[in-house]
Amino acid sequence: MTDSENLLVIIRHAPYSSNLLREGLDAALVAAAFGQPVDLLFLGQGIMALLKEQGSGAPGQKASLPTMDMLEMYDIENLWTSEASLAAIGVPSAALRDNVRLLEPEAMSAFMQQYSHILNF
């Protein structure tokens, strides 16, 4: 196994279109609560969760923004996305939260190799 146990949670679905974003964030929060280092990688539609101007939530649904803000309290500071996904979805990086870091396309596979466990939502 890699020297340390660490988890990468990949988020690939937008808020409100399914429960997958909330389930992914919950999985990350639980792992962090148990002291495991956790990073989050947002790809494709998942990038919509990174917009800082989100509203209070679709009618009848719990807003996802508060959960995103809570990540830092659980020491989940590294929010990653890929330049390719950002370009594909057309979100300007200025619209993203401040603490989002960008991965060049060639760096993706080496980036993922660092994690002993990878969950995909």
Partner 1 sequence: MLHILTKAPGSDAAQQMQQAVGCEDAVLLIEEGVQAALKPHWEGWQDYHSRIYLLAEDVSASGLGEMVDAHVFPTVDMNGFVSLTEHHLQTVTWY
Residues that bind partner 1 (CB under 8 A): 1-2, 10, 12, 43-45, 82, 84-85, 105, 108-110, 112-113, 115-118, 120
Smallest distance, partner 1 to C-beta of residue 108, A: 5
Q: Which is nearer to partner 1, 16 or 121 (CB)?
A: 121
Smallest distance, partner 1 to C-beta of residue 121, A: 8
Q: Which is nearer to partner 1, 16 or 115 (CB)?
A: 115
CA distance 14 to 12: 7
Smallest distance, partner 1 to C-beta of residue 14, A: 11
Pairing type for strands 79-82 and 100-103 reads parallel
Q: Which is nearer to partner 1, 56 or 109 (CB)?
A: 109
Q: Which is nearer to partner 1, 5 or 77 (CB)?
A: 5
Smallest distance, partner 1 to C-beta of residue 91, A: 16
**Tokens of residue 31, six digits:** 């792992």
Strand partners, 120: 10
